[in-house]
Structures are given as structure tokens and as C-alpha cells.
Structure 1
């Protein structure tokens, strides 16, 4: 047990740092931008949800590369792992260009559609959203590279590229938003430019590592012809995992639209609470990624019961992390909320939301830990189905009832989120332990 825990921590801690640094940099950015007022916070909040949904649609490429390469690495067949990685990279170049075009031409319309009558002024943030779409173009490629690195058991490289990119983003958010240190004062637009620069720097770091040190290990510079069967497999798996992630993000988008109808201050408080909660969501995601690596590699080595053990141990260690984070958020919710804004009403609402949902992260942890394990064995069809059902037949209807029928406002919205993650996390956990592990096999191209 202790040996497994040590290995889990060696893989998970760099991922925790990587994902937490992304979350923390976003939090710091929101705090800095928050001084521009509730409208700026609302624009950032809506943009975050939109960008997350756009990322989710194409995130399946990174997720599928992660688990497929982990299996190939475990079985010692990295020729196949490289074929699969290049399918994802080639495809993501096309989609990155598509995302760039959407940001260029449709940002104002997207903000107008989401803001509705309750937040007409959101349209003023279209330049910020446009720049975030440009940044996402690099982010999609970064996620595929990170999936490859993690698949072969390297969580340090994604950590370093993420850290460096996030430091760049924070630096330029500070300097370009308010014109510090001789830089121009561009307000919210400056914060958008900072995101773009940060993702571009992270992408450069990934390219250098993939075609530099990793060329000596796996011949990453060698021309790789596309194998039709492998291409079909990766596109199918990426589609399922992308739709699964999109089901999560789309339901959160609808949730945000509901909250936006309550007004700018309610939307700002909701964004602050989500930003704080993400300090727990991202470590949960990091341990879920660790479960994918360890489970996938164990399946590649032909040891399914070790894979199951890895999934359980990852859940135990990850839950300890989340319990500590939740305790801190529960007792210091008011102080944490006041860091984001000097608007008293927004801070009070956000503080209460943080307090009542502090331990919500434990259920989100169950969801991420066991979903990571199911990805490791290739059980992607179940993840697609359960995400769709939970998002659109549990979360969205419950949020609608609590906000519009029972008129419970922001509290009702978050009670719906709480119930959703409880049921979702428990369902994925049951699936993991009810799997017939004797029948688990490597994912092969048909």
C-alpha cells in the first residue's frame, strides 16, 4: 500500500501543481480584474464558461492520447503510441484554426446570446472573449502534448510548461490591465492578451520537449504515416470523451445562464465561488489523471487487478487532499470571498456559497478519480452515457426548479450543483467496482 501511495504522489503532485497553478493563475487574474468592478467579473465568468465548453468539445483528443499512450507504454509498444499521438496532433491543428475563427467572428454574438436581458453590458467584453479564443487554439495543442507526456509517466514536463506559461500570464495581466511598470493600460483587453501570451509560451515549451529530449526516447521527429485503423479508433475515442466533457461543461453553461438572469451581482458572486471551488476541482482532476496513467499502464502490462488497486489507492490519497482544502474553505469562506471584491453584497453572497459547498469537492473528487480509472481501461462509452444523463436530466432540471419555480436564487442553484455531483460521483464509483476486471483488455483498433 505505502509503495503504491508513494508512486501515486510522485505522479500526482506535479499534476496537482500543474492544474492548481492554472487555477491559481486564473484566480489571481480574476482578483486583479475584479478591481475593475462587478461587470468585469461577470464578463470573465461568462467567458470562462464559454471557453471551457469550447475546450471540452475537443478535449477528447488529449484524454484519449493520455489513456491510449499509457496502455501502449505499459505493453512496450510505443510505435503504436506515436501513431495515435500524431493522429491527435494533426487533427487538433485543424480544430485550433476553427477555434481561432470562431473567436474572430462570433465573440460579440456569443456574449449577447448568453447575457440575455439580465446582462446587456456584457457585450463590452467581446475583445476579452476574442483573445481567450485565440489562447484556446494553443491550449488545445498543449492538452494533447500533456496527454502524451503523462501517458509515458512524465508529469513533470506538463508541470514546468504550465508553470512557466502561467507566470507569464500573471505578469502581463498585472502590467497590461492597469499599465504598471511602463506598460500600456488596456484594462480587460490587457488581461485577455495576457492569457494568449501565457498559452503561447506553454505551447512553445511543449514543442521543445516533444521534439527535443523525447526524440531521443521515442523518435518523435520521424515521419509518422497515418494508420487508418488507428485514426478511426482515436477519433471514436476522442469523440466519446469530448462529448462526455462537453456534457459536463454544457450543463454548467446552462447553469450560468440561469444564474445570469438573477443579475450582474449574482453572476459575479457565482463566479467568485466557482473560482474558489476550482482550487479543489483541479487537484481532483490531477488525481483523476494519475488514475488514468497508472490504470492504463497496468492494463498494458496485463495486470487488471493491480489496475483496480491503483484506482482505489488514488481515490484514498486524493480524498485526503480535498478534505484539507474543503476544511480551510469552510472556516475562512468570508475572508476568501472578500479578497476578490470590495462590493459588500457580492462578497457576502459569494462567502455563503463557498461555505455551504466547501465539501462538495469530495464528491467531485469521486467523480474525477473513478472516471480517470475508467478512462484507463477504455470504458469511454459508459462515461459518455452517464455524463449526458446526469447533466441534462438531473442537473439542469434541478437548477431550473430551484431558481425559477422555488425561487431560491443563488442558494438554490448551488444546491442543485451539490446534488448533481453527489449522484454523479457515486454512480461512476459504482461502475468502477462493478467492472468485470478479468475481461478488461487493451484498446485495439478494429
Structure 2
């Protein structure tokens, strides 16, 4: 292997990835702003945000998973220079994602009683319910935004969603400050204020992205008037065939991280607050990996459209190598700053000590977490989604969760045991997904034929 064959792709990969990375970090920064500002109210309030977001994140993973179906289809149509197909996928994708947002909102309202049945601290549940109700409604504009974002990503125009996300974060921080603590004519609403700030920022984010894309020449041919007789059930079926397994992939991973919130809550308010700090910090580095995962989807999808399989494999491997280097740096940073980072959230000594311990485990699984999400992106570019879904289920729920559940008990390793299960699940996922990609990409090169329908395998 000549290393330069892969490193020469780094600049192109980063050019596509960095707006996605910043945009994804923007979503995390919404949660970070909530955590930092709410953390000043106390450990119970911080734990309540964690608990309320636990169900929100599960719903969010399903909605975003469905939206991810848009990107590889747009990328393939773009590679084949098929504008009509791209337009169909975009317009039907917007409808699908908006309906998903409405459905998820109502499902979350119905799911509220679950929080009472999870053996969580009563004061935390009481604070979490009203927060969750408001943030659940914000999933409607967020899901529609995702449709526009994934469409633009599929055309390798990743910067516009970044602009919208970053500007919306400023809106979120402003309204958080005004409504959490109360300032000028605004009431002090504490947790509900944080939720309202998130809601306002997400409506703004959707409007901002729509405003930008509709005025750009590159997108004009996609923004044609959509009429009812344009509806095509076959396009919806194609989106669903890719979106549903992808949603399950994200659900299986997000659900195991959400399970850590419930398991930590059983240990008490302070372990749950520490768990939230470690999760929030880990999610930032994960979003960097998501950016490269989207890049892998776009570039692999383009090469799939052109039937250039050797380039497809080489480009994909370049993204794997790049994320390995980036996540290695993050792992080192977590180890060096594990005692400092938790202090930005609150000044509870017990919470800070617990969070610093969890960051050690997080540092170790940075590599496997980054690799698994980028390999998943490459497989998504191949439109191979069913087998990876099975792999994710096995890795997280057959391997990872039992370890978290057993060793996460107070009489075993407590919080550290919970996170050792995450480490095991992510590592298993990374290894199995890479084996899958290696097999499929080599098979394509050997057969020299059009990409087969992997859904039959």
C-alpha cells in the first residue's frame, strides 16, 4: 500500500466534511448551551435535561436516519447527471421528513409515562416532563430542515446547512439566556426556557436554510412547483427502503447511549449528571466523525453512479484513515483534560470526579466510534443498509448492552461498568462493518459489473 494514494484525498475529504462537521457540532452545541446554562441551576436540573433528552434523542435518531436516505440517492443521481431523479428524491424526501417530524412529536407525547416507570429520581422526572414536551415539538421543523440538509449534502454543497446551524446557535444562546434566568421583559422559566430557546432556534434554522437554497442557481432546477399528481409511491418506497434500515442503525446506537442515562439514573442524581457531561463531550467528537461519514456517503455514491469501483474503494479507505488520525488526537485530548473539562459544567466535586473517570473510557473508544460511523457512511453510499443494520443490533444489544447492564450495577463497577459496555459495542461494530465493506468493495472490483442489489444478500 502506497500511503500517498490515500493521504492525497485528505484535502478533498475535509473540504466536503468540514461544513458537515461544524453543522453537526451546531446541533450538539444546542445541547451544550442547554447543559452549561442549566447546570448553573443545579445537579437535579442538569440530570432532568439529560433524562428529557433521552427520549428526544431516540426519536431524533429515527427521524435523522430516515433523512439520511436522501443523500446517497441524490449523490448517485448527481454522479449520473440525472436531474429528474434527483428532483423526485428531494421533493418526496421533504414530504417524508416533515410527516416523520409530526409523527415523532405525537409519539413523544404518548411516551411521557415511560419516564415515571424507569426508577428515576422523582424530582428529576418532575423537571424533565415539561422540558421534553416543548423540545418534542421542535422535531417538526428540525426534520424538515434535515430533508433540505441531506439534499444539499448529496450535491456536495455542505456549507449552507452549516451556516444555518451555526447562526441558529446564536439565536438559541440568546433566548436561553433571556428565558432560563429571566432578563428585561422576559420571565425566568429555567428548564422550560431552555426548551423554548431550542424551539425558536430550530424554526429559525429551517427558514434560514430554505431562504439560502431557494436563491442559489445550482438548486433552481430542483425547486420546481410540486403538485399532487407528482406523487410517486415508488420514490417513497425507495426512500423508505434505505431510510428505515438506516433509522434502525441510528436507533440501535443512540438507544444504547440512552440506556446509559437510565442505568446511571438508577445509581443516583450525581452519577446521572456525570454521565450527561461525558455523553455531551463525547457527542462533540462523534459529530466530527459524522461529517466524514457523510463525506464517505457522498463520494462513494458519486463513484457508484459512475461505476468506478477501484476509485470507490480507494476514496473510502482514505476516509477511514483520516478519521483514525483525527480520533486518535481526540483520544489524547480527553486523557490530558479529563479533570478540567467537567468543571465547565458545574462545581459538584463528586460529579466532576465521576465524569473524569468516564472520559478515560470515552478516550479509548474514540477510535472505534469514529471508524464505525465512517464505514457505515461508505456502506450507505453503496446503498447497502440491511446487513449493516443487523451488525449494529448485534454489536450494541447482543454484545454491548449486557456488559453495561451487568457491570453498571452499584455492586459491580457502577458508571465505569456502563461505559465499558459502550466500548465493547462500538469496537465490535467497527470491526464487523469494516469486514462488510472490505468484502463488498473487493467483490465489485473483481466482478467488473454494475453494483449488485445488496439488499438481496
Pair 1:228–1:34, CA change in 2 (3 A): same
TM norm structure 1: 0.94
Q: What is aligned with 1:437?
A: 444
| C-alpha contact 2:64 2:247 (8 A) present in aligned 1 | yes
In the TM superposition, what is the alpha-carbon distance from 1:258 to its structure 2 partner? 1.7
Q: Segments of 4+ in structure 1 off by > 6 A?
A: 442-446
Unaligned runs of 5+ in 2: none
Which residue of the partner structure matches residue 348 of structure 2?
343
Which of residues 295, 302, 319 is equivalent to 1:297?
A: 302
In structure 2, the partner of 1:279 is: 284
**1:100 maps to 2:97:** no
Instruction: Tell me, in whole angstroms, the C-alpha distance in 2 between the residues paired with 1:429 and 1:99.
Output: 32
Q: Does 1:328 align with 2:323?
A: no
**1:109 corresponding residue in structure 2:** 113
Cα displacement (A) at 1:3: 4.3
Contact 2:401–2:422 (8 Å) recurs in 1: no
Q: 1:440 to 1:194 in 2, by over 3 A?
A: farther
Q: Does 1:26 align with 2:31?
A: yes
* Aligned residue pair count: 444
CA distance in 2, matches of 1:85, 1:386: 29
> What is the CA-CA distance between 1:148 and the residue it aligns to?
0.4
Provide the secondary structure at the position in 1 that maps to 2:428.
helix
Cα drift, residue 78 of structure 1: 2.1
Secondary structure of 1:357's counterpart equals helix
Shift of 1:33: 0.7
In structure 1, how many angstroms separate the alpha carbons of the residues matched to 2:184 and 2:453?
Answer: 53
Partners of 1:295 and 1:406 in 2: how far apart? 47
User: Unaligned stretches of 5+ in structure 1?
Assistant: none
2-side partners of 1:150 and 1:93: how far apart? 18
Greater shift in the superposed pair: 153-162 or 428-437:
428-437
The answer to whether the Cα contact below 8 Å between 2:260 and 2:275 also exists between their aligned partners in 1 is: no
Q: Tell me by how many angstroms 1:191 deviates.
A: 0.3
How much has 1:301 moved relative to structure 2? Answer: 1.5
User: Are 1:112 and 1:123, in contact at CA under 8 Å, matched by a contact in 2?
Assistant: no
Contact 2:256–2:396 (CA<8 Å) still a contact in 1? Answer: yes
Query: Structure 1 CA distance, aligned partners of 2:398 and 2:266?
Result: 21
Aligned 8 A contact 2:97 2:144 in 1 = yes
Shift of 1:194: 0.7
Give CA-to-partner distance per residue, 1:203-247, whole Å, 9 cap, x none: 102222343325754231232612232221111211111122112
| Residue of structure 2 in register with 1:76 after alignment | 81
Shift of 1:8: 0.6
Q: Residue deviations 1:265-300, cap 9 Å, x none?
A: 111100001111112111011111111011111111
| Aligned pairs for 1:13-412 within 5 A | 13-103=18-108, 105-106=109-110, 108-114=112-118, 116-180=119-183, 182-213=185-216, 217-223=220-226, 225-404=230-409, 407-412=412-417
